Structure 1
Amino acid sequence: MKKGTSIFFCRKMGAGNSTKAREIAHKSNAVLLSEDEWLASLCPNKISSLNDYIEYSNLLKSQLKKLVQTILSTGINVVMNFPANTLSQRARFRSIFAVIDAPHNLIYVDLSNAECLK
């Protein structure tokens, strides 16, 4: 069976990533997973610092890995609105799709700081 494609982003904050993720998910009939939505739902009012974000974000990763692999294995595309800005973040994404030999698409959003601040 053909695997779904994992789609994720390398971008700055404020670059319109959530909007772009929703558009791509809609156009490709994909499942959209948003880190902001998961954290807001599962950890309301618990993230007030970068350390808090890192702690709670890391708690999501192992379960999301299994979920995404299961979805991709059924042939459904997954758009992940999670940061993939650093080598370690991109390696984490690779650990999701490479293990099950699913295709992927890294979308690089190249906007200036001034554009992001708008």
Structure 2
Amino acid sequence: MPTLHLLCGKIASGKSTLAKTLATEHAAIVLSEDHWLATLYPGEIHAIADYIKCAQRIRGVLGPLVINVLQSGLDVVLDFPANTVASREWLLGLAHAAKARHCLHYLELDDATCRARLHARNAQGEHDFAATDAEFDLITRHFSVPSEAEGLVIERHHP
């Protein structure tokens, strides 16, 4: 039975790096929200509201694709932030619709470590988006630690 791998962790916690590792380990395809956003909306995302609008569009298109790929028997790694209950509900719904297993990979890192990694990542200039400290703080305020009570199978990582 195919598996939908989901990623939860604060900005710069290592979600995209783990996504690549999971894809190799499970012969899975990776769909990266950051890549789709940067490709489809270059220079258009300047605020959180822009991100939300564009991310919703992408989810509307990719949701059915993810279900179809899972139904074809392939594992999928969704490099989308499963950082709120609402996001996790949508992502879990994809697995249920495809009658596939799921695993939420939760990267547990403290804010100081994530912020230091963010600064290093921004300095390298290789990531699709370079969040500021203010954006890190704003987005982190909305972060919700995942729980098995949400119906999730959770694997915790301490990178």
Place the TM-score, normalised by the shorter chain, in its bin: over 0.9
Please list, as runs of the form range in 1=range in 2, the aligned pairs for 1:33-48 lying within 5 A after superposition: 33-48=31-46
User: Which of 103, 111, 114 lines up with 2:112 in the alignment?
Assistant: 114
- Cross-structure match for 2:48: 50
Point out the structure with max Rg over C-alpha.
2
* Distance (Å, rounded) in 2 between the aligned partners of 1:99 and 1:33: 18
What is the CA distance between 1:99 and its match in structure 2? 1.6
Aligned residue runs from structure 1 range 1-118, under 5 A: 2=1, 4-118=2-116
Deviation, structure 1 residue 69 = 0.5
Amino acid in the other structure paired with 1:24: L
How many pairs were matched up?
116
Distance 1:35 1:61 in 2: 9
> Counterpart of 2:109 in 1: which secondary structure?
coil
Identity of counterpart residues, as a percentage? 36
Could you tell me how far apart the structure 1 residues matched to 2:98 and 2:14 are? 30
Structure 1: unaligned runs, 5 residues or longer: none
**Which one-letter code corresponds to 1:54 in the other structure?**
I
Q: Which segment drifts farther, 64-73 or 95-104?
A: 95-104
TM-score for both structures, normalised by structure 2: 0.71
- Mapped to 2, the partners of 1:27 and 1:99 lie a distance apart of 24
SS at 1:99's partner residue?
helix
Query: How far 1:17 sits from its partner (Å)?
Result: 1.0
* Amino acid aligned to 1:27: E
Report the TM-score when normalising by structure 1.
Answer: 0.95
Gaps of 5+ in 2: 117-159
Deviation at 1:27, TM superposition (A): 1.5
Q: Once superposed, what is the RMSD of the aligned Cα atoms?
A: 0.8
Q: Following the alignment from structure 2 to structure 1, what is the Cα–Cα distance between the partners of residues 97 and 34? A: 25
In structure 1, C-alpha distance between the alignment counterparts of 2:97 and 2:25, rounded to whole Å:
26
